[in-house]
Structure 1
Amino acid sequence: MNEKIETPYFLIDKEKLEKNFEDMYVAFKNKWKNLIIGYSVKTNSLPWIINYFKEKGAYAEVVSKDEFELAKALGFSLNNIIYNGPIKSEKTFIEALEGNSILNIDSFTEIEWLKKNKPKNQRMWEIGIRINFDLESMCPGETVMGQMGGRFGFNYENGEFFNAIKELEKLEYIKISGLHLHNSTKTRSLNVYKDISEMAIKIKEEFKNLNFKYIDVGGGFFGGLKDKPQFLEYAKVITEILEKKYSKDTTLIIEPGASLVASPISFISKVISIKNVKENRILTINGSCNNINPLMRDKKFNIKFKNDLTARNIIKNQIIAGYTCMENDILLCLKNEKELFLNDEIEFLNMGSYTMTLSPLFIEYFPKVIVKDKDKYSIARERWAVKEFLQKNYL
């Protein structure tokens, strides 16, 4: 692609993506020899990205029947899929077990499925179990769940985890082979992973009859940001605790998403109209919060201007607004910055995480996605138009 790329579009920097993956792999592999990296499909489900990580040797970490089917369609073998989450279907649940997927059960509904179904050919089904525990009390103010507690897995404090273990032990064709400890946090701090790892130790000590083949600490790491914890720091905190009770023959599973894809992907848009309202200069771009802030959170963006602004005047208030008809589709308020003109391009940095996956088909459809590999550019996804929007609709 030598021609100028028409905005708006997402831009994947393949070199940065490669560096994030290699840095993570080397950091954890040097600390724990039996390592599985499961890419979190929900974080960015663009097929090009999922396929990229497949070619790097990562597993697909999926959390629904549709994501399970997507991983299969993209060529993942069943034994290279990690199946988590509360919305598995019974059909794909059994298929995953029969295909030796890594499957972490989440609820008593799934235990009922195990009671209803039995493996073929007198074999054992190996499962993992997700534990729900009070991480907030260990890391006050750091979790997304807060005092209410998380929604996923079997709760440790009220005895449901213990009850689930007892129910599973009644099934002679079930072997509990893994422990899943993922938690959603606001801080992604090293202290969080210290306490998650300590919980894995506690379960090992309390349930001596269980022989875990793998410990899955989940994801939620920072990645590619200089002022945040680095992959080696996470690896060191986790493994130095686990090795107190677990052999390094145990497999360590990590499930990164944002730490791999956030920093290498940006979004490029341009100014399409300018008007003055009261004391503000409003610049509408052909991008939107729909593209890069679909949950409309109070968010600060790192941006770069693609045009040379050196000789321009300073403007007191410039509001960067999205293309939608929603008054709150405001991306930036620039204070005392260089004046922007029509067709000026703005690059929003670190836009690879929970943007494309959550973007709605509202007013405009999905923008194109471009891959930059050194000085070469290629298309990972064409812009959606009316044809794509109308697919599988009936009039």
Structure 2
Amino acid sequence: MILEKCSGKKKGRGKPVKFKTPYYMIHEQELDENFKKLKDALEKHWNNYIIGYSYKTNALPWVIKHFDLLGCYAETVSEDEYNLAKLIGVGKNHIIYNGPVKTKDSFMEALQNGCIVNIDSQREVEWLEDIEIENRRIGIRINFDIEKMCPGQSQCPEDGGRFGFCYENGELSKIIKKLQEKKVKIAGIHLHTSSKSRGLDIYRAIAEIACKVQKEFELDLDYVDVGGGFFGGLPTKPQFDEYIALMENILSTCFDKTKTKLIVEPGMAVIGAPISYVTSVIDVKDTEFNRFVVTDGTRTSIDPLMTKNSYFHSFDIKSQRDTHPKQVICGYTCMEHDRLFEEKNGPTLQCGDQIIYDKVGAYTMCLTPLFIKYFPDVYVELNGNVKKIRSAWTPNEYVQRSELE
């Protein structure tokens, strides 16, 4: 029997499948339905757009290839991610290249290939000297005071964000002037900002700053890149249609939809919800203080930074059970704080029972450490049919490309 906690009906998913745990399961139908909602919102409100899938959120090869086949650009933030996109077959001009850690060689290649390149550092401005004038076509990432516009919603309220060129202190103005002197085409602006809330106000502020910059500097822009950071796959949170409609109302006052593309760079919004992590109970022990339920999974596999205090989870147990007043669900590692949640007045768990964690597709596979155990199996499920898309790592994979003496 399956008992669910903190999660709704799993639409489009087949029956639970028994494999060696732990493992991740990607629910393909749910992924595609969620992605379609984003695409439909863009088609409705700004039918001149690019969706760039954020590699840093989850760059599992099957995942990034799937989004490529859905028509997404690859949104990359390092030479490694840029080269990964090329390796899996992304079109050379279907890559968005962001971030401050680009290398000069990959930066120049991306511009020569017609990629969307958003500069984020002074050195990139200097690199443009070595690019042919016809390929000097970039976007600028803008740093602005999101905390002032959305009090209490920014991630760094006291110190401010660290990415892009600052609008308020005049750095953006200086960079625009320098680029114009270098005969650089400013094709777009990039306004992604990290927030605690992921609320609609954040995107209202982004759209307002985009209009303000366009008017003040009289920019003729091919695109406005609003970044990511949306909610997705959670019915109780803002929906894609709300985000895009809000931005449309503001951006349409100063940009022509037929001439200026809207670029969005979702990661968590499209990959977070449709992935589960399945674990098994391997031991139950009572101490003076608690009953500890030990599993073959770990907190670092679903919450690598160990910052969350609750998880969407359900139980797959063998039979009806009496309840237990308190059980502490733990991972297999030797860290005391590898504790996932407390189950109060729930079914008394036994060895062999399974605990399934839902909505764990974002910042998990790419951040999970190689600590004590290695990467687990990953499967894709569609209409009850399951295939393995990554085999669990063994010591053979761990030692690859290493020297032993």
Normalising by structure 2, we get a TM-score of: 0.94
Deviations, residues 145-181 of structure 1 (Å, cap 9, x unaligned):
2121101000111111111111111112x21100000
Alignment-derived partner of residue 167 in structure 1: 178
* Paired residue type of 1:272: I
Alignment-derived partner of residue 140 in structure 1: 151
* Paired residue type of 2:297: G
Deviations, residues 39-74 of structure 1 (Å, cap 9, x unaligned):
000000101000000000000000011000100101
Partners of 2:147 and 2:352 lie apart in 1 by: 47
For the 8 Å contact 2:23–2:379, the answer to whether it is kept is: yes
* Paired residue type of 1:264: P
Alignment-derived partner of residue 240 in structure 1: 249
Any idea what SS the aligned residue of 2:93 has? helix
Shift of 1:109: 1.3
Alignment-derived partner of residue 198 in structure 1: 208
Any idea what SS the aligned residue of 2:141 has? strand
Alignment-derived partner of residue 328 in structure 1: 337
Alignment-derived partner of residue 77 in structure 2: 63
Alignment-derived partner of residue 381 in structure 1: 390
2:236 to 227, 230, 235: 227
Partners of 1:79 and 1:158 lie apart in 2 by: 34
Shift of 1:316: 1.4
Query: Superposed, which structure 2 residues align to 1:1-395 within 5 Å?
Result: 4-115=18-129, 117-119=130-132, 123-172=134-183, 174-208=184-218, 210-248=219-257, 249-308=259-318, 311-395=320-404
Deviations, residues 205-259 of structure 1 (Å, cap 9, x unaligned):
1011x21100000001001111000110011001111000100121000000001
Shift of 1:3: 7.9
For the 8 Å contact 1:197–1:238, the answer to whether it is kept is: yes
Partners of 1:391 and 1:374 lie apart in 2 by: 36
* Paired residue type of 1:183: T
Shift of 1:299: 2.4
Partners of 1:360 and 1:47 lie apart in 2 by: 18
Shift of 1:283: 0.9
- Please report the RMSD computed on the Cα atoms of aligned residues, expressed in angstroms: 1.2
Any idea what SS the aligned residue of 1:86 has? coil
Deviations, residues 2-34 of structure 1 (Å, cap 9, x unaligned):
983111000100000000111100111111111
Partners of 2:373 and 2:244 lie apart in 1 by: 42
Partners of 1:13 and 1:304 lie apart in 2 by: 16
Partners of 1:335 and 1:322 lie apart in 2 by: 18
For the 8 Å contact 1:84–1:103, the answer to whether it is kept is: yes
For the 8 Å contact 2:38–2:240, the answer to whether it is kept is: yes
Aligned identity (percent) is 46
* Paired residue type of 1:118: I
For the 8 Å contact 1:104–1:130, the answer to whether it is kept is: yes
For the 8 Å contact 2:230–2:268, the answer to whether it is kept is: yes
Any idea what SS the aligned residue of 1:148 has? coil
Shift of 1:298: 3.4
Partners of 1:83 and 1:204 lie apart in 2 by: 22
For the 8 Å contact 2:302–2:360, the answer to whether it is kept is: yes
Number of matched pairs: 388
* Paired residue type of 2:63: I
Normalising by structure 1, we get a TM-score of: 0.96
Partners of 1:103 and 1:69 lie apart in 2 by: 14
* Paired residue type of 2:197: T
Partners of 1:24 and 1:124 lie apart in 2 by: 32
Shift of 1:114: 1.2
For the 8 Å contact 2:128–2:136, the answer to whether it is kept is: no
For the 8 Å contact 2:229–2:268, the answer to whether it is kept is: yes
For the 8 Å contact 1:281–1:319, the answer to whether it is kept is: yes
For the 8 Å contact 1:279–1:317, the answer to whether it is kept is: no
* Paired residue type of 2:109: E
Structure 2 gap segments, 5+ residues each = 1-15
Partners of 1:33 and 1:27 lie apart in 2 by: 9
Partners of 1:273 and 1:389 lie apart in 2 by: 27
Shift of 1:118: 2.2
* Paired residue type of 2:261: T
